[in-house]
Every structure is written in C-alpha cells, then in structure tokens.
Structure 1
C-alpha cells in the first residue's frame, strides 16, 4: 500500500497566530514539513505572494474566480498524486486565507465558493487531513487591533488589496468603510464553510487569554487526531 501524507491546515484571520502555531506543530511532530503562506516553495498556492503578504493584489488580472478555483484544485491534485510518503505536511493560511479569500475577493458567488469547498474536500478523501481554525467573534475589532500593532505598510496593503478587488469594485465601495463591510461578509462566509468541514477539526479562539495554553492544546490534538501516536 502506497503511504499517503498527513495534512494539517491551520487557518484564521490575519494576526490570529497561524504561523506561530504552524511552527510549533513542526517543532513538536517528528517528520513534518511546514509551509507558511508566503513560502516560495509552497506546493498549493496559485500565483506568487506579494512582498507584504499572500493577498494576491493583482490576481484578478490573470484569473477569474472559476479559473482560480480550477487551478487551486489542480495544485492539490498534483500534490496528492506526487507525494507518496507519511510526512505530516502543515499548511498555514490554507485553504481559507490563501484560496477561499481570493475567490471571495474575485467576486465569486457564494454558491461557487461552496462548490469549491466541496470539491476541495472530496480530493482529500483518501488522505488523513485535519483543520485547526482560529475563530474570531469580532473580526472588525481584531483587524483594528492588528493594524495598530503592525507596520503602517500592512494597513495600506490591506486597503489596496480590498479596493482593487472585483468584490469591492462591483459594489462601488471604497475606503475603510468598504474594508469593514467586506471583512464582515467574508468572516460570515468562512464561519459557514468551517461548519461544513467533514474531517477532523479543532476550533480555538483567535485571541486566547493564553497563547501558550492554546499551543499546548493544538499540538496535543494533532498528535492524537491527525497522526499515529508513534510519530510524535
């Protein structure tokens, strides 16, 4: 029997600690590989990340929503077909931030995104896959908090990303008000999709009282639910 990879997706809104969690899992689990959202060798990304982040500001110049969804599924299929080992592959900000969010900013109808989510999961049928999702109850407050903590360049990048998106332009929105509306609708969509995830899932607070306790909880869950205990 050909060994199949174990796949862990770690996702949530920007600033929720996804990269920190991914690195913690990689350091805790033997025989694992971690891909951050801007990794140059990321096997599942469609397109090249921007210098500031994986927002794909110009993705609408090369892809429609349909072509992007098809390309993302092909990337996953190729990865699964060519990866025949029992390594734990950890993908930060995937498949939500780096794929679903892009479909959303491209103006894909909710039904199109739901179909993509279904097809994405169908391709994982013979793989041990899990999702850690950092859930945010107040996305507007969270983004404001992140913007205060990060370099001003990040806030400018966020505004440029949203204003140039087909989603924003089709609604004649602009500025921070448009960003807020887009974020609220996106967060609602993601919460709905996460509820439809049919493989092992662990939901944790995006802004926990103790990040150390959250890290302990998620590494324990990965060892018990995603990989055999002998691998940890």
Structure 2
C-alpha cells in the first residue's frame, strides 16, 4: 500500500495551478507554442488555451504571452511570473513527496508538518455538503471507514477542496471519545496506559491506522477497558482539522 496525494497552488481562493497545468506551462516553454504543447500532451488546443486563460486570470498577471518577431515570426513564451510559478511549484512538489514518504515511514521528516495533535492520518474527500454556516466534508479512511469534518465555507475555498482530494486530518487525543461498538469508527484497543488521573488508549482501525484517545480513569474503569477489546470511536466533526 502506498500513500499518494496531490496539491494545488491557489490565489485568493481560486485554483491557480496543479501538476497538469504546470506541465502545460513547461511544454509551452519548450515548444514556444500552445498548439505544439497541446499536441505533445495529447489535449485539444481549446483545452490548453482555456487552462492558460484560467491561470492568467487567477494569477492576476500574464503567465503566458505572445511574442512577435524573431526567426520563426513570433510565438508563445512564458513571462517571468510563469517561470517563477513553475519553479515554486516544483519546489513545493518535492517537499510534498518527502512529507508523504515520511507518513509512510511513520515518522516526521525534516521540514514536514509538526503539530501537537497526536493523531495525524490521511483521508480522501468523498463528498462536500454545503450548510448554512459550515460545509460537511465526508472523508474516506483506510479500511473503508468514514469520518466527517465540519469546516467553514471560507476554509473550503481557501483549501480548494474538491472530490477525490487527498487530505491530512489532525485530531487531538482528548477529542477522540471511546464508546461501545456502535461508534462511528470501529477498532481494536491495542494499548492502554494508566496515569494518575487519565488513561491513554491506542486503538487500531482496519487498515492499520492508529488513533490515540485520552480519557479519565473513572471513564476507563466504567468501560472495563482491556487490550484486545473491540471499541468504537466518536469524533465531533468540528474537531477535525483538515490540511493540504
């Protein structure tokens, strides 16, 4: 099993460039023509031109422009802003790949996201349901389990979320609640550590993902928790943080 993900560069909530658009810009730079670049990429001229036009508008300045004169009588070339966008995207792309590799290895690589949240897991956007104030985002996890996140409309736009996107989920341990097997998520209690006033429980979900929950001693005793026990987990959708 291999983690995969993609990201977009956005500006003022508008999608500016992803891997496909960056590849198109690079081809235009190489070919000096949108027509030839589109042919190399196996796309129509209209699709290529629409992508270039959308990038120019989202960037707020031309990334691609027509050139005149020269040996071939002119053509198409990237502006300085277009060249800089390619360079920035590829830099971020390398860091993104390093980050995914670090998640697979179960450790944080230099430059990866560092956070106090104990639970970091990946999910895929299955649905986005707009509400009065917040959007409900349905996420698919490993092991065919699902989790809901509630985020504001502005957050949805700022992240540029769309169906199929791979996202990172952050959940603090006190926000993970152990319940009976009727919980939203199902798993097996793998570790239970008792402290003076609280217990730390590690629950493994199908697919090998582990979540850490923090609960009081009295609550743990009332549930008669034991390693190997099947338990349910509930997480308030408003306490799920999404990252791209």
Question: Which structure is higher in RCO with an 8 Å CA cutoff and minimum separation 6?
Answer: 1
Q: Computing the radius of gyration over CA atoms, which structure comes out larger, 1 or 2? A: 2
**Structure 2 length normalisation: TM-score?**
0.24
Higher strand share goes to which structure? 2
- TM-score, normalised by the number of residues in structure 1: 0.25
Which structure's residues are more often helix, by fraction?
A: 1
